[in-house]
Structure 1
Amino acid sequence: MEKIYQHASKTVVYLGDKSADSELAAEYLENHMWRVRGAIADFMNQRRVAEDAAEMMQICIKTLGVSQEKLFEGFDQYAVQKALMNLLSRPWFRRIWVIQEFVVSPTVDMYCGKTKCEWGSFAMMFYHSFKEAKVNWDHIVSPKERIYFFRGLTQIMQMHELRNKFHDKDDDNQKSNLIWLLSRCRTAEATMPVDRIFALLNLSSDLHNLKPDYLKPKADVYRELAEVALKNGDSITIIISEAALTNRTDPSLPSWVPDWSEAPVRINLSQILIASKTIKFFDADGSRSGIQRTPRPIPRIEGNVLFIKGVIVQTIAIVGPNRSALGTNMDEAPNLTNLITILSYIQMFLEMEIEYPTGEDKSTVAGVVLEADQLKGPRDLASFWENTHSRDLFIEPELSSLGPDAGPISEAMRLRRLEDPQGYANMCRAVAGRRFAITDQAYIGLVPDMAADGDKICILQGFNVPFVLKKMGEHYKLIGDAYIHGIMLGEAFLRDSALKESMVEIAIC
C-alpha cells in the first residue's frame, strides 16, 4: 500500500456525506488559506526579514489572529467553530490506516460530500491563528463531543508533521522510529488491535524484520515488538514509560509491555518540562545532574519477565479514594472528581501537625504537587495543542458538571482558572488518571489511580521519574509513574550515598 500511495498521481480522501454545516467549514477553510496566501504576498512585497520559509509562514498566519473579529471576519464565529468541530469529529480523522495514505501520497484531495476541503489550513489555524486570537472552545465542545474533536485535531496535526518530514528531500531520515510513531499515534482507532502496529510499519525507519501476522494474538504481537525494540537498541525508558500510561485492562499482557490498543489516561511525567531552574526534566535516579553516574540500563528478558536494576525507596501508606466527590459525577467528569478528591486530601495533609521531610513549607509543597512541578507555559507554538491537551486527555475538568452540592469549591476553581489559566491547566493535567498518596516516610505525591496502600515506590536505573510497583509473589507488576515530592531530582541519593549500591535486579512481570 505504501508503494501504491507513493506512486499515485492523486489520492482522494472522502470524509463522508455532507452535513448541515460541512459546506460552511469548507468555505472557511478555503477563505483562511486565501488570507494566508495574501499575508505571504504582503510580507514579501514589504521585503520583511525571516530566517526561513517556516518562520515567514508563522508570522503571516499569526497576523490573522490579531483579534477574533479579524479572524472570523465575514463569518458567524460560533457557527464556524461548531462546523469545524463537527468536521474534525468525523471518524476518518481518528482511524489508524488513514495515516499512511495521507502521509505518503504526493497529492491529496479531501472531500466532504461533493465539497472539497482545504486540509492545508487545519494545522496553521490551530497552531497559530486560533492560538494568537485566544479562540475559546469550551462553549462549543460539550464533554461528550470533546474526545472526538480533540482526537481528530491531534491526529491531523500529527499527520501534517509526518507528511512534511516524509516529503522533505533534505531530511536524511524521512521515516521515524516505530516506537515514537506508536507513541504519537496512540489515540488512533483500529478495528483490530494488531493494526495499531501493522498500519505504521511502512512509515517506520526500523524493525523491518517485524512482519504482519494476523494469526498471532494481540498479546504476542505487542510483546514481540517490545522485545525486538529493546534488542534493536530502543530506549527501555520509552517502552516502560508508554506501558505506564494506561490502566492495563488486558491481563494477557506483561505489565512492562505497552498496550497500544488503550489510549493514555495520564500524562508521561518523564517528558514534561519542569519548573526547576537547574535541569530540564526530572532526575529521580540522579544520572542527569551527575549525582549518580550510572551506565545505560541493559534489561534482561526471560519469558514474560523483564529484569532491570532498581531500588525501592518508599512504600505507599495512604492513597486517596477513587470515587465520586460531593457534587460531581465520575462518569461525566472523571478528572474533576479526581481534582476535588485530591484537594480534600491536600487539606488533610496541611492540617497534620508534622513537618515535611525536606524541611519545605507544607503549603509550598502542596502547590508544587498539585501541578507536578510543571513549567508554566508550553515549549513552543508547534507543541501548543498537544501540550495543552496531552494527547486528548480531559485536562480541563468540566466545571459545568458541578452540582449544587459542590459549594465553595466550584467558585474557587472558576476563580483559579480565570486568574492563572496555565497553572490551572497544569493542575488539571497533573491529576488526570492519578490519586493523592502519602508514603511511609511522610512524603506526598500523585500516583496512578490503580495504586493501592502497600505498593512500592521504586527508582529504576536510567529513569528520571519513580514508578509504583505492586508485589506479586517474587515479581512485581508495573502500575505507573509517580510524582513524589522530594525524590524527583535525585534527592534520595544525596541523602543516602550508599543507596546507589543498593540497586538490585527487579523482576517485572
Structure 2
Amino acid sequence: MAASGKPSRQVEPYEYNVLKMELREIRLILLTPYDRRAEKTSIFRCDIVSVPLSSAPKFFALSYVWGDPERCNEVNIGGKIALVTSNLKVALEDVRDWMRSNGAIDEDANVHLWVDSLSINQNHSSEKSSQIAMMADIFSSADQVLGYLGPETEATSAALESMHYVAETAAEKIVPLENIVELEPAVTVFNSPFFTRAWILPEVVIAKRILFLWGPAALDSDTLFRTVKRLLEMFSTWRIRSFEVSKLGLFLSDLGSRSIGENMSAANMFREARKEFHSDQEEVKLMDIIDGASWVGLKASDPRDYIYSLAIISTLTERFGISPDYSREWREVFQDLAAAIIRENRTGLRNVLLSRSRRSRSDLVSWVPDWGMRQTMGDPYALPSTQNHAEFGAAGATAQDQSSLFQSHCHTIGAVEAPFISAPIPKHDEDQQWHIAHATLIGSLYKLYWKAAPYLRDESPRRLLWKVLLGDRSILDGDDISSRVEKRLYESYDDALIAAWRAPVHRILSVDHLWFTTNLHYLAFERRPFATSRDTLGMGTMSCQEKDEIWILHGVDFPVILRRVEEDGEEKNEYRYVGDAYVHGIMDGEFLAEEPETRTMLKGAKFSLGSNQNDSYGHINGVYLGGPHSERLYSHSL
C-alpha cells in the first residue's frame, strides 16, 4: 500500500523504472553507511538499482511494520523525492547506524537492502502481484533478514541484558511468581507491533539468517526465541501451580499493552513455524498456518494480504493455485481459497465449514470463512480429541453404523436430514456478567432436559447436561464421564448444577464455583443450547434460531445448522449455512444406527469446482456453494 500524500518540495518526484519480469528483476536500495551528506540533513538519502534476482549482489532484507500511512517523511532517491512512512524512515536510519557500528563494513562499502515499500512500485498492481509472488525467493536469497522491532528506548539496554539472562536460564529457575516484576525488562520487547502483522511471519520464517534490531542495537534470533519460549513455559507453570492468575494478568497489563501476552504467543508461533519450515521432515500446511495466525491475532491492513502473506510459507500453495493478484477483490480471494481447500482433499469441506463456524462476516457468502478474523476462545463442538480420523460421524468416532455409508469422501456427498431446532433458550442480556449468564445457562439446560427426557432412556440429567456442555469431545477416553475431566471441575459442576436448579445466581457467585464458571466460560462461549424436534438436546452457535435445520453431510464429522431461505413469504429449497452444532444422540452415529427411516442417503453426486464457466462454484448433491452474485447455500434436492 503506497503512503498517502505528495512530496512537499518543488523537487522532481521519483519515478520507478519498469522491471523486466522475464528476468525476475528486483530493486535493491543502495545505502552508504558513512554518507556524510545524509548526516547534515533530515532527508534520508539512498539510491535504487534493478538487478535479476539470480545475479543479485549480497543484500539484506528488511522486515518491519509499515506504520501509519498518514504520517510520512521524504527520502531522497538519487536526487529525487519519494514518500515513506515515518516508521520506515526511522528504521532505515537505525539500520544505517547499525551497519556503521557493525565493524565489518568499511567506509568505502555500499550496502544493498531490499525494502518492500521502496523496492516495489506500490501503485502498479501487476508489478506488486508479481513481486509479492517472488517474496519467498527474495527473503530466502537475502544474506540476512533484519527484523526491526522499533526505535531504541531508555529500556533497550536493560531489556537486552535481561533477555540474555532469561534465554540461558531454565524456566523454573528464573524467578518465583512473587518476584515477577524482575522480568519486566525482558517482557517489554514484546510490546512491539512487530509481532502483530501477518507479513512479518513469512519474512521471519523464510529467512536463512535473521537478526533483530531494537533501534541500532542488535539481538540475535536464538536469544529472542529462547526468551519467549522460557517466559511462556514459566507463565504456564504459574497458571498450573497458583490460583493467583490475576497477579500475572495485572503484571502484563501494567506494562502498557493488554496484548503483550498475545504478542508473546505470536513470537512463539514465529519460532515454531520457522523450525518447521526449515525442517525436511514435514510439509507446512496452509490451513495450519492460517489457523495459527488467526489464534494469535495477526493483522493485515489489506484483507488480501492475509492470504497472500501466509500462503508463501506453505509448500501446498501451487496445488491450491494461490498466486497474488491485486486486481482482484478481496471477497473473490477469500472465496477462491475456500473453494480450493474443498477441492483439494476429503477433509476440505469439513475444514472450511469449521473455519466458517469460528468466524463470520456479513458481506461474505455464508459458507466462506473470514480468514483474517481472529478466532474466539470458544472452540466449535466439531473439534473432538480424535480429530477427524473417521470418514463420517459427528464426533469423528467409529461407533456409527459404517454399512449405511458410502465408500467415499468429500468429493462425493451424501446427506441425512436430522432434527430441526424447536426450542432454543433465550439469548442472554449483553449487560449481564458472564458468570450470571452461565448460571442461567445451566438452569436452561435443566429445563430442556425434561423436554428430552422420554428419549434419554437411562441417562442421568447430570451426565447428559455435562456431555452437552463438553460437546462429548472426550467420548473415546472412557465410559465414566467423571474420569474424563478434572475431578475438581466435575465436582464443581455437580454442585453448580444442583445450585442452579435451586438458586442459580446466588450460589454460582460463590468463590467455590470460580473454577467451574471460568472453565464453563470457555466451553460455552457464544453457544446457545436448544431442544430439537426429536426431543434431543444440543448446543449451537449463538445465531441459531427456531426452525433452523440440522444436517449431517458425508465427509463432515459434525452436524451443520442450515437455515431455509424465505422469499415473498414462501420457503425455498435454498439454505444459508449458520454453523456447527453438538446434538445429543447423533454425535457418534447413534442417530443413523437407531433410526433406520432416517438413513435415506441422497444419491451421491460428483462434487466439482471450476468444471466449466456456468458451474464454476460447484455443488454438493444439489447443495450449491454459492456463485459470484449469491450469498446463499443453495439446494434443489435436500
Name the TM-score, length of structure 1 as normaliser: 0.73
- Counterpart of 2:168, as a letter, is W
State whether structure 2 residue 340 is matched by structure 1 residue 228. yes
CA distance, structure 2, for counterparts of residue 341 and residue 487 of structure 1: 26
Aligned CA distance change for structure 1 residues 506 and 364 (closer, same or farther; 3 Å): farther
CA distance, structure 1, for counterparts of residue 408 and residue 304 of structure 2: 30
Deviation at 1:72, TM superposition (A): 0.7
Aligned CA distance change for structure 1 residues 97 and 236 (closer, same or farther; 3 Å): same
Q: Which moved more, 1:204-213 or 1:22-31?
A: 22-31
Correspondence for 2:136: 2
Correspondence for 1:440: 533
State whether structure 2 residue 246 is matched by structure 1 residue 138. yes
- Counterpart of 1:124, as a letter, is K
Correspondence for 1:41: none
Post-superposition Cα deviations, 1:10-47, rounded to whole Å, max 9, x if no partner, equal: 222222235676665544331122224xxxxxxxxxxx
Deviation at 1:116, TM superposition (A): 4.7
State whether structure 2 residue 179 is matched by structure 1 residue 77. yes
CA distance, structure 2, for counterparts of residue 19 and residue 269 of structure 1: 46
Post-superposition Cα deviations, 1:120-144, rounded to whole Å, max 9, x if no partner, equal: 2245325544334547653343698
Larger radius of gyration between Structure 1 and Structure 2? 2
CA distance, structure 2, for counterparts of residue 475 and residue 351 of structure 1: 33
Deviation at 1:220, TM superposition (A): 0.7
Q: Aligned with 2:350: secondary structure?
A: helix
Correspondence for 1:250: 362
State whether structure 2 residue 590 is matched by structure 1 residue 491. yes
Correspondence for 2:409: 297
Post-superposition Cα deviations, 1:337-363, rounded to whole Å, max 9, x if no partner, equal: 653442231243357694453531112
Aligned CA distance change for structure 1 residues 280 and 216 (closer, same or farther; 3 Å): closer
Q: How does 1:82-97 map to 2 (within 5 A)?
A: 87-97=189-199
**Contact 1:158/1:184, CA 8 A, preserved across alignment:** yes
**Contact 1:309/1:503, CA 8 A, preserved across alignment:** yes
Correspondence for 1:166: 277
Greater RCO, CA 8 A, separation 6+: 1
Q: Aligned with 2:600: secondary structure?
A: helix
Post-superposition Cα deviations, 1:412-449, rounded to whole Å, max 9, x if no partner, equal: xx42344x6xxx66533221221121212222222101
State whether structure 2 residue 207 is matched by structure 1 residue 105. yes
State whether structure 2 residue 343 is matched by structure 1 residue 238. no
Aligned CA distance change for structure 1 residues 156 and 363 (closer, same or farther; 3 Å): same
Aligned CA distance change for structure 1 residues 340 and 210 (closer, same or farther; 3 Å): same
Correspondence for 2:428: 323
Deviation at 1:102, TM superposition (A): 1.0
Match of 1:342 among 419, 441, 445: 441
- Counterpart of 1:205, as a letter, is T
**Contact 2:536/2:585, CA 8 A, preserved across alignment:** yes
Correspondence for 1:58: none
Correspondence for 2:481: none
**Contact 1:182/1:260, CA 8 A, preserved across alignment:** yes
Post-superposition Cα deviations, 1:363-399, rounded to whole Å, max 9, x if no partner, equal: 21112222223449x9xxxxxxxxxxxxxxxxxxxxx
Q: Which moved more, 1:262-271 or 1:22-31?
A: 22-31
Match of 2:284 among 169, 173, 176: 176
Aligned CA distance change for structure 1 residues 474 and 24 (closer, same or farther; 3 Å): farther
Aligned CA distance change for structure 1 residues 374 and 210 (closer, same or farther; 3 Å): closer
- Counterpart of 1:182, as a letter, is I
- Counterpart of 2:260, as a letter, is F
CA distance, structure 2, for counterparts of residue 269 and residue 80 of structure 1: 41
- Counterpart of 1:152, as a letter, is N
Deviation at 1:482, TM superposition (A): 1.0
Q: Aligned with 1:271: secondary structure?
A: coil
CA distance, structure 2, for counterparts of residue 213 and residue 349 of structure 1: 51
**Contact 1:6/1:104, CA 8 A, preserved across alignment:** yes
Q: How does 1:12-51 map to 2 (within 5 A)?
A: 12-18=146-152, 25-36=159-170
**Contact 1:320/1:435, CA 8 A, preserved across alignment:** yes
CA distance, structure 1, for counterparts of residue 397 and residue 474 of structure 2: 21
What percent of counterpart residues are identical? Answer: 19
Match of 1:357 among 450, 456, 461: 456
Q: Aligned with 2:534: secondary structure?
A: coil
- Counterpart of 2:357, as a letter, is A
Name the TM-score, length of structure 2 as normaliser: 0.59
**Contact 2:436/2:509, CA 8 A, preserved across alignment:** no
**Contact 1:122/1:156, CA 8 A, preserved across alignment:** no
Deviation at 1:109, TM superposition (A): 2.2
**Contact 1:25/1:80, CA 8 A, preserved across alignment:** no
Correspondence for 1:201: 311
**Contact 2:420/2:533, CA 8 A, preserved across alignment:** yes
Aligned CA distance change for structure 1 residues 86 and 6 (closer, same or farther; 3 Å): same
- Counterpart of 2:414, as a letter, is K
Correspondence for 2:559: 466
CA distance, structure 2, for counterparts of residue 341 and residue 267 of structure 1: 21
CA distance, structure 1, for counterparts of residue 587 and residue 549 of structure 2: 15
Q: Aligned with 2:370: secondary structure?
A: coil
Q: Aligned with 1:223: secondary structure?
A: helix
**Contact 1:350/1:363, CA 8 A, preserved across alignment:** no
Q: Which moved more, 1:429-438 or 1:316-325?
A: 316-325
CA distance, structure 1, for counterparts of residue 598 and residue 422 of structure 2: 21
Aligned CA distance change for structure 1 residues 192 and 441 (closer, same or farther; 3 Å): same
Aligned CA distance change for structure 1 residues 450 and 24 (closer, same or farther; 3 Å): farther
Correspondence for 1:370: 469
State whether structure 2 residue 575 is matched by structure 1 residue 476. yes
Aligned CA distance change for structure 1 residues 351 and 107 (closer, same or farther; 3 Å): same
RMSD (Å), alpha carbons:
3.5
Deviation at 1:184, TM superposition (A): 2.1
- Counterpart of 1:245, as a letter, is R
CA distance, structure 2, for counterparts of residue 417 and residue 218 of structure 1: 43
- Counterpart of 1:158, as a letter, is M
**Contact 2:425/2:529, CA 8 A, preserved across alignment:** yes
5+ residue gaps, structure 2, are 1-134, 478-503, 566-571, 604-620, 626-632, 634-638
CA distance, structure 1, for counterparts of residue 399 and residue 449 of structure 2: 31
CA distance, structure 2, for counterparts of residue 15 and residue 137 of structure 1: 29
Normalized per residue, the structure richer in strand is 2
CA distance, structure 2, for counterparts of residue 482 and residue 353 of structure 1: 17
Deviation at 1:291, TM superposition (A): 1.7
Deviation at 1:150, TM superposition (A): 4.5
CA distance, structure 2, for counterparts of residue 353 and residue 478 of structure 1: 26
**Contact 1:370/1:431, CA 8 A, preserved across alignment:** yes
Aligned CA distance change for structure 1 residues 325 and 212 (closer, same or farther; 3 Å): closer
State whether structure 2 residue 404 is matched by structure 1 residue 311. no
**Contact 2:142/2:208, CA 8 A, preserved across alignment:** yes
